[in-house]
Chain A
Amino acid sequence: MNADEARATVLAVLATIAPEANLSELELDVEFRDQLDIDSMDFLNFIIGVHERTGIDIPEEDYPALETLAGCINYLVAARPAG
């Protein structure tokens, strides 16, 4: 997965979690939590959404790496789908 695909995937999932947000203004390095109205349930659903779209098995320990848009892109580009 390249960076553009990763970004598109992340934004598509976020759009389902926070449908009211204007994602085009999302900042790369600020935590989602501080930019969107997201709680732990939303974040879990975000992880599930990314997992479902990419097949990447994301362990809980890696969650902190996925708290910003830049972090997500780096993570997804580096990751390989499970199995």
Chain B
Amino acid sequence: MAEFLMPSLGADMTEGTVTRWLVQPGDHVDRGDIVVEVETDKADMEVEIFEAGTIEQLLVPQGEKVPVGTPLAIVATAAAPAARVALPETSGPAPPLAEAPKPAAPSPAAPRPRATPTARIRARELGVDLAAVHGTGVAGAITRQDVEHAALRRAPEPAPRAEGRRLLVSPRARLLAGERGIDLATVTGSGPGGSITAGDVERVAAPTAVAAPSLPSGPAVEVPSGRPRAAGRGPIAALMERSNREIPHYYLGIEVDMSRALDWLKAENRKRPVPDRILASALLLKATALAAHEVPEVNGYFIDGGFQPSATVNLGVAISLRQGGLVAPAILDASAMPLGELMRRLQDLVARARAGRLRASEMSSGTITVTNLGEQGVDFVYGVIYPPQVALVGFGKVTERPWAEAGMLGVRPVITASLAADHRASDGHRGGQFLATVAKLLQEPEHL
């Protein structure tokens, strides 16, 4: 028996709504099958299962909203009993919840700690690993109270305010914040002496519906029925705030002569039928993926105080949604992909992102992200890294510039590539090598 859990589909997701089951009890599932559609406050997503077996029971009905880590279904697997189908296994570690401690993911091999049923439920709710809890109950069993104490102890240390004071937080507020994955440093206290009360946390946890930012263009934009989404800003805001607070960013930029790349692309597209044509974006993505493969310090996760480089490059692509908002799903193993394939994946990803059909693995597995703001007329991007990633690569607009090469001055199409990187994972020297590699690769487009 295994539990299929509500996955975390991104570092900022704390809960999700089951919108549609695609399987019924008795159905056989294979690894990678899409079994359920989940709606988060950012997007709709299809969730794959990562273990083969037979669906035994659906635990959460359609339409119900549950926290990350909640068992959604019971699956009878051939594997060892009590194995857990943990978060989607991606080639990188699943990013942790925003601010929340990592959900307890007991390894199948570990013996089950003795605990009362209510303690287990509470531990799951609070993301407490039972293996780390000291039991005070009968025969050392862990009680519900033990779990709550453990949750209080490991509740995130409040980040010091500018003046270095500790936050005043009521125990109930701290527990609630841990439960909801809310960073107490972002909560304004209304209690005595500015202390944070449970009510303050509640208000942050359930922000009033934020109006979707209106798109800069387009007359009389109608929100299509059936897919209204007060998109993006709330969760993204929390994530970006965390990024700016926790990650010591440094920024580098390089101007890249795009004449060879664009000439090559023009000739290549002339040979290609309409549906197979390639956009310049695909060249930029491929060059970035290859460079990230060569300079691993920008590719991976910063988790638990250490940098974990990723062997594969899962290239996150920032995609703006039509209704407003932003998602950054990843193209898995992008550096190993031929350019035409990468273009097809990009096309598919953009279409599915905008239709709300992204998959769980795509949302949680990016190891580095690219944002291309050239179409908005931007020249230089000072990026904000998506935690727990360690780098964000930005591309601006292609503009004609005077360009000196080999003693000659000419006019060339030039793009500025920028890198925002985590100084804990890399230094300016390696970051510079990364950007130089991107630039160099774009001079040999035929090899991309």
- Which residues of B are found within 8 Å of A18, using beta-carbon distances? 218, 322
- Which residues of B are found within 8 Å of A36, using beta-carbon distances? 217-218
Q: Which of B218, B222, B375 has the most CB of A within 10 A?
A: B218
B347 within 8 A of A: yes
Complex Cα distance, B281 from A35, in Å, reads 23
Decide yes or no: A41 and B279 within 8 Å by CB, A59-B270, A60-B270 being known contacts.
yes
| Residue in contact with B266 in the complex, picked from A20, A22, A60, CB distance below 8 Å | A60
Cβ contact within 8 Å between A37 and B218: yes
Decide yes or no: A51 and B275 within 8 Å by CB, A35-B219, A59-B270 being known contacts.
yes
Complex Cα distance, B346 from A45, in Å, reads 12
Task: Give the interface size bracket for B toward A.
Answer: 20 to 34
Task: Please name the residue on chain A nearest to B221 by beta carbon.
Answer: A20
Contact digits for A31-55, partner B, Cβ 8 Å, 1 yes 0 no: 0011111011100110110011000
Task: Please name the residue on chain A nearest to B278 by beta carbon.
Answer: A44
Cβ contact within 8 Å between B219 and A22: yes
Complex Cα distance, B322 from A35, in Å, reads 13
A28 within 8 A of B: no
- Which residues of A are found within 8 Å of B347, using beta-carbon distances? 41, 44-45
Cβ contact within 8 Å between B223 and A60: no
Closest CB-CB distance, A26 to chain B, in whole Å?
9
Cβ contact within 8 Å between B274 and A21: no
Task: Give the interface size bracket for A toward B.
Answer: 20 to 34
Cβ contact within 8 Å between A20 and B270: no
A13 within 8 A of B: no
- Which residues of A are found within 8 Å of B269, using beta-carbon distances? 60
Task: Please name the residue on chain A nearest to B321 by beta carbon.
Answer: A37
Task: Please name the residue on chain A nearest to B347 by beta carbon.
Answer: A41
Cβ contact within 8 Å between A37 and B217: yes
Cβ contact within 8 Å between A22 and B279: no
- DSSP class of A's interface residues: helix, strand, loop or mixed? helix
Cβ contact within 8 Å between A22 and B220: yes
Q: Which of A19, A37, A60 has the most CB of B within 10 A?
A: A37
- Which residues of B are found within 8 Å of A25, using beta-carbon distances? 219-220
Cβ contact within 8 Å between A34 and B274: no
Cβ contact within 8 Å between A58 and B274: yes
Cβ contact within 8 Å between B215 and A37: yes
Complex Cα distance, B224 from A19, in Å, reads 7
Closest CB-CB distance, A22 to chain B, in whole Å?
4
Contact digits for B297-323, partner A, Cβ 8 Å, 1 yes 0 no: 000000000000000000000001011
Complex Cα distance, B375 from A33, in Å, reads 10
Complex Cα distance, B221 from A40, in Å, reads 20
Complex Cα distance, B375 from A58, in Å, reads 22
A67 within 8 A of B: no
Cβ contact within 8 Å between A51 and B322: no
Closest CB-CB distance, A48 to chain B, in whole Å?
5
B350 within 8 A of A: yes
Decide yes or no: A35 and B218 within 8 Å by CB, A51-B275, A60-B266 being known contacts.
yes
Decide yes or no: A60 and B322 within 8 Å by CB, A22-B219, A35-B219, A36-B217 being known contacts.
no
B273 within 8 A of A: yes
Complex Cα distance, B217 from A32, in Å, reads 10
Closest CB-CB distance, B394 to chain A, in whole Å?
16
- Which residues of B are found within 8 Å of A58, using beta-carbon distances? 274
Closest CB-CB distance, A56 to chain B, in whole Å?
9
B277 within 8 A of A: yes
Cβ contact within 8 Å between A20 and B224: yes
- Which residues of B are found within 8 Å of A22, using beta-carbon distances? 219-222
Cβ contact within 8 Å between A20 and B223: yes
Cβ contact within 8 Å between B275 and A48: yes
Task: Please name the residue on chain A nearest to B355 by beta carbon.
Answer: A19
Cβ contact within 8 Å between B281 and A57: no
Decide yes or no: A60 and B277 within 8 Å by CB, A20-B322, A41-B347 being known contacts.
yes
- Which residues of B are found within 8 Å of A51, using beta-carbon distances? 274-275
Decide yes or no: A41 and B281 within 8 Å by CB, A18-B322, A48-B275, A60-B266 being known contacts.
yes
Task: Please name the residue on chain A nearest to B215 by beta carbon.
Answer: A37
Closest CB-CB distance, B126 to chain A, in whole Å?
40
- Which residues of B are found within 8 Å of A47, using beta-carbon distances? 274
Complex Cα distance, B355 from A45, in Å, reads 14
Known: A39-B375, A45-B347. 14 other contacts (CB 8 A): A20-B221, A20-B323, A35-B217, A36-B218, A37-B218, A37-B221, A41-B346, A41-B350, A45-B351, A47-B274, A48-B274, A52-B275, A58-B274, A60-B277
Sample (15) of A-B pairs whose CB atoms are under 8 Å apart: A18-B218, A18-B322, A19-B322, A20-B221, A37-B215, A37-B217, A37-B221, A41-B346, A47-B274, A51-B275, A52-B275, A57-B273, A58-B274, A60-B266, A60-B277
